[in-house]
Amino acid sequence: MAHLIHTTAAILCALTLFSNVSAASLFGVTSTTRQANLHRPTKNADIFLLRGGGVEEDQDAQRFRPYLPHTLSIRDSLMIAHSFHSHPSFGPAGGMHGATYTVDVEFASAKLHPECNWVIDIGVASDLVAEVLRQYNYKNLDQIFGDNVMTTTEFMCRVIFEGVAKNLKERQLANPEEDGFHGWIKVTLWESHKAWGSYEGPLL
């Protein structure tokens, strides 16, 4: 009987502790943290609302991707030449060589367009991605970015992300009557089936 009472008490204690843990805190965000972030002075306060996370040393940096259940992905390809300027860390790849990437760009949003039930117009998304890739396709990246810039897969993910985000924002400014895309963009470059890199962030 004493063992049963002890076990029951332990269960009740665990349930009490668990009841004090919100669903958000299970993902690393407590209600206290959220309130602190919402009142934190920053030029991009709405970022905290979007991602629901904390901040890095750079207050404009996003640590966590929010829960955005709807996604649309565009796939394209990119063929480039580049070198790593004979840097010893890259071994044989330090010299000039070619690379063919499969490019995936994912658009994620909290809700669908109220009329069209899409994350983003797939034709618009395809054109935006193609327009950015056209700047680098069949090009020597050494000539575009200059000496001593290591055009790694990770670096190019960020470059393409910034290009897609810039083009999308310009389109939205030119067409304010459209209910455009708002959410998260993730760019992934596949070097092969064994290795890939990505860069992601919000579009506000």
The three-class DSSP label of residue 82 is strand
Token look-up 């056209």 returns: 134
User: Nearest 5°: phi and psi at 75?
Assistant: -115, 135
DSSP single-letter state for residue 57:
S
Round the average pLDDT of the chain to a whole number and report it. 79
pLDDT single digits (tens) 30-89: 444 444 444 444 444 454 454 444 444 455 555 678 899 999 999 999 999 999 999 999
Distances (CA, A) of 119 to 47, 64, 128, 177, 179: 19, 20, 15, 17, 11
Domain boundaries, the chain: 2-51, 70-203
Q: Can you give the pTM of this predicted structure? A: 0.70
Percent above pLDDT 90 for the chain = 58
**CA distances from residue 134 to 70, 128, 129, 147, 186 in whole angstroms, order as listed:** 27, 10, 9, 21, 19
Q: What pLDDT shows up at residue 175?
A: 84
pLDDT band at 194 (very low <50, low <70, confident <90, very high): very high
HSE at residue 62, side-chain half, CA atoms within 13 A, is 22
Residue 115 DSSP class? T
**CATH code matching the domain that covers 70-203, chosen among 3.30.479.10, 3.40.50.300, 3.40.1190.20, 3.40.50.2300:** 3.30.479.10
